[in-house]
Amino acid sequence: MSSEPISLGRALASFDALWSPRIVTRVNDYDVRIAKVEGEHVWHVHDDTDEFFLVLGGTLHISLRESAGERTVKLPKGSVFTVPRGTPHRPFAPSGAHILMFEPTGTPSVGDRHDEVPDHVDATTGHALGL
Q: Which fold has domain 8-105?
A: Jelly Rolls (2.60.120)
Residues 6 or more apart whose Cβ sits within 8 Å of residue 105: 26, 29, 30, 31, 125
The span from the CA of 60 to the CA of 96, in Å, is: 8
State the CB neighbour count (10 A cutoff) for residue 39. Answer: 14
51: β partners: 83
Ramachandran bin of 123, using left for φ above 0, alpha for ψ from -120 to 50, beta for the remaining angles: beta
pTM for the structure as a whole:
0.91
Mean pLDDT of 54-69: 97
The span from the CA of 82 to the CA of 84, in Å, is: 6
Q: What is the mean pLDDT of the chain?
A: 91
pLDDT at residue 1, as a whole number: 63
Domain map of the chain by residue range? Answer: 8-105
Residue 2 clears pLDDT 80, i.e. is over it: no
